[in-house]
Amino acid sequence: MNKLSTILFLTLAGAAPAFGDIISVQPSSLTVDTGQHFSIDLRVDGATDLAAFQLSLGFNPAVLAANSVAEGPFLPAAGPTIFLPSQIDNVAGVISFIGDVLIGGGASGSGTLATVDFTALASGSSPLTIFNVIALDSLGGNIAVTTVPGAVTVTASAVPEPASALLLLAVAGALAWRRRSSS
């Protein structure tokens, strides 16, 4: 029996094959202005008995600067956790050791593992790549993980238009100055 017919058979029999957890960058695509602060989530989907994870996130340091990493609500919703302090390297464009450990069990389902706060430095694009992933179940066994990257596009900030009231004041001042100069 080939792979496709095996998957079809298991699906029709009501036993879908397990492909492992999916860890993705959310939103998967984002456009921001230079100077803007924004956040992305590292999300898990289809987790079964996830007790611990560790991963790294790569980005383009000419375009983005990482500010902080915060624990997401997925593992803490299942019990007490130990969140690992990540190491941000804005020169190399890597955040290492993003991780969390659930004490005394595993969590199943989908949710946010961590949130990363960035600042857009310059126009350009930056992939957000998840790598060096380790995921463990409550017995310490490895969990197969598929990663889905994201991307950020940074555009030049538009020059804001002056507020209407400020514009009216400037025009009124110019007219008053002109009348005074004419007299």
- Given this model, what pLDDT does residue 164 score? 52
Q: Which residues contact 73 (CB under 8 A, 6 or more apart)?
A: 111, 112
Mean pLDDT of 100-115: 97
pTM, entire model: 0.77
Give the pLDDT of residue 95.
98
What's residue 85's pLDDT?
A: 84
- In this predicted structure, what is the pLDDT of residue 12? 34
Burial zone of 14 (CB within 10 Å; 0-12 exposed, 13-18 middle, 19+ buried): exposed
The residue that leads in pLDDT, 170 or 25, is: 25
Based on the number of CB atoms within 10 Å of its own CB, is 123 exposed (0-12), middle (13-18) or buried (19 or more)? middle
Per DSSP (E only), the strands in the chain are 21-26, 29-33, 37-58, 64-71, 81-84, 87-89, 94-102, 107-120, 124-137, 145-148, 150-155
Average pLDDT, the chain: 85
The answer to whether 75 and 112 are in contact (CB under 8 A) is: no
Query: Is the peptide bond between 27 and the residue preceding it cis, with omega within 30 degrees of 0?
Result: yes
Confidence of residue 157 (pLDDT cuts 50, 70, 90): confident
What pLDDT does residue 153 have? 98
Q: In this structure, which CATH number among 2.60.40.680, 3.90.1150.10, 3.30.365.10, 3.10.129.10 belongs to the domain 19-182?
A: 2.60.40.680
What percentage of residues in the chain have a pLDDT greater than 90? 74
162: pLDDT strictly greater than 90: no
Cα 148-101-110 angle, rounded to 5 deg: 40
Contact 176, 160 (CB under 8 A): no
User: What pLDDT, on a 0 to 100 scale, did the predictor assign at position 97?
Assistant: 97
Q: At CA 135, angle to CA 3 and CA 104, rounded to 5?
A: 125
Beta pairing partners, 24: 43, 148
Higher pLDDT residue, 182 or 121?
Answer: 121
| Token pair in block for residue 119 | 């600042």
